[in-house]
Amino acid sequence: MKYVSTRGEAAGRGFAGILLEGLAPDGGLYVPERYPRVDAAMLAAWRRLSYPDLAFAVMSLFIDDIPAADLRALVEKSYRAEVFGGDARIAPLRALEPGVFVLGLSNGPTLAFKDVAMQFLGHAFEYELGRRGGTLDVLGATSGDTGSAAEHALKGKRGIEVFMLSPLGRMSPFQQAQMFSLQDANIHNIAIEGVFDDCQDLVKAVSADLEFKRAHSIGTVNSINWARLLAQVVYYFAGWFQATRSDDELVDFAVPTGNFGNICAGHVARSMGLPIRRLLLATNENDVLDEFFRSGVYRVRSAAETHETSSPSMDISKASNFERFVFDALGRNAARTRALFAEVEARRVFAFDAGERARIGAFGFVSGRSTAADRLATIADVHRRFGEIIDPHTADALKVARDHAEPATPVIVLETALAAKFNDTIRAAIGSDAPRPARLAGLEALPRRFTTMPADVVRLKAFIAENDRR
Ligand SMILES: *Cc1c(COP(=O)(O)O)cnc(C)c1O
């Protein structure tokens, strides 16, 4: 399988070739040159597979430059029961109410779905660097879930140093503890005296210094990485197998959405022929994508227009993976994709024309929006009726799933975090604490290892140079 850029460059490179890269050189995102198709016979054969075997089956359709035995070893290391809360299903499905299932994606080390992809990415990076004899300094900015999932996946990996910037004092106590308690020598937590945007600007400033970037092999693990997306495709299959009995049953998926990574994986699974009827896209008050799917207008927000909400991992001003869907919706017209995103650069907005809007319907997307009040009401309702506590992001998806429910088609709600991560909101909703997995008891009391720094790119570069152990 070869990969191409959404802006037209025929990269002609395979999966391992683009694994360690972010954007394509022309500024686009990498996508496979076509989506491999699955048929009923393949689905029937895959139904009985374990999670790692299913991951191997799905991923090997997209990867032909890693030997099969090596890829199998990578997925087996990534998807072990011990890493995912002791459950060998990795992504266990449970019934919530008639017609609604919840797919548990948050049993990994940091209790959020990002672990599912990041665990694979960590092993794949280490493997590929070992094969090339290279090293990598991963530089990132986080406001919470991404950074901790990346650190827990990359800690102790050979050839990799992690420099993770976070806004000092602005993450939840739980998120801070998850990151700062790591004692591994290759993990460098840098608490920046500023806000998340300052952290992102510092990452951009370092990456813009091409000489420094090359000297330190600076790379990222952000959500546009194709390998992360591919790892997420697998659990759409796993969820569908657990919710169905025959190989042509249709289901809907409801997905709490920020950067369009998770739901883009659903779009890929559907494009491969997995029987998904609709993809129910849920946003919070930051409704860039809900607006697009209702109007055909994509309007990115300024920092001032971006709301701080109680589902903070969806507080985005623009959706960094969205270009992949736009490319497909435009019939893979790279020139038009390039023109539309140039408009976004220049004027923060583009609009599909009438013909383009008419094509969107074929992709199965239905969108909705959920607010702070909806989250509290949904969490309280689920607690009262079922004795379960769901996290605020999952609540956004459940709200939208209920709004669009149709009796004939079951819907699978993706559970993207455990409630324990967002305990303040849980207390506000139900007046008591969210349960926490026993393995994380006492997390906040562990010793912490981090560096505090002003938002100063010279200081940051000096720190990276000092701590680059090569
Ligand atoms: C990252 C995240 C999301 C949003 O996922 P995208 O892939 O950015 O759409 C939703 N919920 C939680 C808990 C997250 O950490």
Per-residue pLDDT of the chain (470 residues; tens, 9 = 90+): 999 999 998 768 999 999 998 888 899 999 999 999 999 999 999 999 999 999 999 999 999 999 999 999 999 999 999 999 999 999 999 999 999 999 999 999 999 999 999 999 999 999 999 999 999 999 999 887 889 999 999 999 999 999 999 999 888 888 899 999 999 999 999 999 988 888 988 998 998 898 999 999 998 888 899 999 999 999 999 999 999 999 889 999 999 999 999 999 999 999 999 999 999 999 999 999 999 999 999 999 988 898 999 999 999 888 999 999 999 999 999 999 999 999 999 999 999 999 999 999 999 999 999 999 999 999 999 999 999 999 999 999 999 999 999 999 999 999 999 999 999 999 999 999 999 999 999 999 999 999 999 999 999 999 999 998 76
Residue 130 lies in a domain: no
CA 103 to CA 405: how far, in whole Å? 17
Q: Is 273 left (phi over 0), alpha (psi -120 to 50) or beta?
A: left
Residue 1 lies in a domain: no
Task: State whether the beta carbon of 145 lies less than 6 angstroms from ligand 1.
Answer: yes
Which atom of ligand 1 is the closest one to the Cα of 320?
8
- Out of 262, 292, 323, give the residue to mutate to test ligand 1, the one with the largest number of ligand atoms within 8 Å of its CB: 262
Triad 191, 308, 264: Cα angle to 5°:
90
Tokens 């739980």 correspond to 174
Q: What is the CATH number of the domain that holds 289?
A: 3.40.50.1100
Residue 309 lies in a domain: yes
In this prediction, residue 311 carries a pLDDT of 94
Backbone phi, psi, residue 411, to 5°: -120, 135
* Two tokens, residue 360: 């969107």
Task: State whether the beta carbon of 114 lies less than 6 angstroms from ligand 1.
Answer: yes
- Torsion angle in degrees (nearest 10) through CA of 168, 171, 175, 181: 10
Residue 137 lies in a domain: no
Task: State whether the beta carbon of 259 lies less than 6 angstroms from ligand 1.
Answer: yes
**Strand pairing category for 411-415 and 451-454:** unpaired
Integer-rounded Cα Rg, in Å, for the chain is 21
In this prediction, residue 208 carries a pLDDT of 87
CA 412 to CA 423: how far, in whole Å? 24
Task: State whether the beta carbon of 143 lies less than 6 angstroms from ligand 1.
Answer: no
Residue 62 lies in a domain: no
- Out of 115, 399, 416, give the residue to mutate to test ligand 1, the one with the largest number of ligand atoms within 8 Å of its CB: 416
Q: Cα–Cα distances in Å, from 204 out to 79, 261, 373, 466?
A: 33, 21, 36, 20
Residue 67 lies in a domain: no
Backbone phi, psi, residue 341, to 5°: -75, -20
Task: State whether the beta carbon of 314 lies less than 6 angstroms from ligand 1.
Answer: yes
Whether pTM exceeds 0.85: yes
CA 102 to CA 93: how far, in whole Å? 6
CA 413 to CA 97: how far, in whole Å? 11
- Domain containing 413 equals 93-109+228-430
Residues 126-159: tens digit of each pLDDT: 999 999 999 999 999 988 788 999 999 999 999 9
In this prediction, residue 157 carries a pLDDT of 97
Count: domains in the chain: 1
Residue 215 lies in a domain: no
Q: How far is the CA of 300 from the centre of ligand 1 (A)?
A: 18
Q: How far is the CA of 390 from the centre of ligand 1 (A)?
A: 15
In this prediction, residue 470 carries a pLDDT of 67
- Out of 113, 222, 423, give the residue to mutate to test ligand 1, the one with the largest number of ligand atoms within 8 Å of its CB: 113
Query: Contact, 316 vs 288, CB < 8 A?
Result: yes
Q: How far is the CA of 256 from the centre of ligand 1 (A)?
A: 7
- Torsion angle in degrees (nearest 10) through CA of 157, 229, 172, 258: 160
Residue 251 lies in a domain: yes
Task: State whether the beta carbon of 106 lies less than 6 angstroms from ligand 1.
Answer: no
Catalytic choice (2, 77, 114, 461): 114
Q: Is 114 a catalytic residue?
A: yes
Task: State whether the beta carbon of 255 lies less than 6 angstroms from ligand 1.
Answer: no
